[in-house]
Amino acid sequence: MKSKPRIVSGIQPSGKLHVGNYLGAIKNFVDLQNSGDYDCFYFIADLHSLSETYDPRKKREDVYELLASLLALGLDPNKSTIFLQSQITGHTELAWLFSTVIPVSELERMTQYKNKAARQKTNINAALLTYPILQAADVLLYNGELVPVGKDQEQHIELIRVIAKKMNAKFGTAFPESKPLFTHAPKIMSIRDPQKKMSKSLGDAHVLNIFDDEASNVKKIAKAVTGTDLNSPDAKSFLALYTHFCDQNPSGNFSDMKAELTIAFTKYFLHKRETYLELLNKPKNLDVILDKGRAKAQPIATETLNKTKQKMGLL
């Protein structure tokens, strides 16, 4: 019996999830998991999150918050392997081995590096530059064949393929040349600046958080920039949200549509929010889920790392 193709993907614990995170990635994670067609490995990328400016006192809280969010939104530890990146021995060590075959010039041309360096000018650390190498290790440590991404992430997957090819050619390893799994995901823009992608880095006013209360949703959606008519470029992102959550054709009256979106959005996430809050109040249960994921992920990671070190002459 042929094994299912393995999917590997991660998400950073860096604050509350917003609707762009959900429609752009998490909903697809859940759909892929529930299809039964893939062996899904989803991880919380806490090591990656250290490349950004952060508060160490809040990092553990961010991890629990993200895990509770993912579970409430539908990720199932009985269907997917869900784990914490830093709890698995192998990610950073494999990344170091990969760093010996990739030229610095390959890293310097990465769009993500340029964007992040421009955004955090006072903290352009080495991890920002080597971030894609750790991404490659994240995927290839589990022999990931497919990585669900949007088109804007294609460059990162190509680098994973480059690293796999270099390792296989130089040392005789057998890493798969991972392919992007392009999934339909609308690009959700800021509700206050529709020309920019929705991101927490723009400020809280720009994002529509999934698990905020109704009062917050009312205020934010009421202030959403929509332009003057349905054909306005500024209306495109608002209309994407409206169409998804309201499941009806737009009327053209933005005031009414904002009220309808607020009701539909709040209703859509109501029970998920209740589940999320319940999970957050039981951190020991969250630890059990991470332990279960670690128990499945670690042996695979250890085997891959040991085979790679042998091929490179280290064992």
Of 151, 181, 241, 236, the residue nearest 28 (C-alpha):
181
Global pTM value: 0.92
C-alpha distances (whole Å) from 216 to each of 1, 13, 208, 212 are 51, 22, 9, 6
Parse the chain into domains and list their residue ranges. Answer: 6-185+282-311, 200-277
Q: Is 27 a catalytic residue?
A: no
Q: What is the pLDDT of residue 118?
A: 66
State the pLDDT at residue 117. 60
pLDDT at 188: 87
Strand partners, 6: 39
**What residues form DSSP beta bridges with 84?**
44
Quick one: pLDDT at residue 22? 93
Contact 76, 33 (CB under 8 A): yes
- Which comes out higher in pLDDT, residue 2 or 189? 189
Question: Per-residue confidence at 153, pLDDT binned at 50, 70, 90?
Answer: confident
In tens, the pLDDT along 207-246 reads: 999 999 889 988 999 999 998 889 998 898 899 899 989 9
User: Residue 155 pLDDT > 90, yes or no?
Assistant: no
Tokens 């992102």 identify what position?
237
Q: Return the CATH class of domain 200-277.
A: mainly alpha
Catalytic residue among 16, 179, 197, 309: 197
| Structure confidence at residue 168 (pLDDT) | 98
311 catalytic, yes or no?
A: no
The 10 Å Cβ neighbour count of residue 208 is 21
Asked if 220 and 198 touch (Cβ cutoff 8 Å), the reply is no
Q: What is the pLDDT of residue 14?
A: 86
pLDDT at 113: 65
For residue 61 the two structure tokens come to 């809280």
Per-residue confidence (pLDDT) for residue 24, from 0 to 100: 87
Percent of the chain with pLDDT strictly greater than 70: 97
| Residue 293 clears pLDDT 60, i.e. is over it | yes
Catalytic residue among 27, 116, 166, 220: 116
Catalytic: 267? no
Q: Which one of the listed residues 16, 79, 200, 292 is annotated catalytic?
A: 200
Where are the extended beta strands (E) located within 105-250? 146-149, 179-182
Q: CA nearest 259: which of 235, 284, 238? A: 238
Contact 38, 7 (CB under 8 A): yes
CATH architecture of 6-185+282-311: 3-Layer(aba) Sandwich (3.40)
Q: What is the pLDDT of residue 200?
A: 84
pLDDT band with cut points at 50, 70 and 90 for residue 2: low
pLDDT value at 136 more than 80:
yes
Residues 176-204: tens digit of each pLDDT: 999 999 877 667 899 999 989 898 888 88
**Which residue type does 259 have?**
A
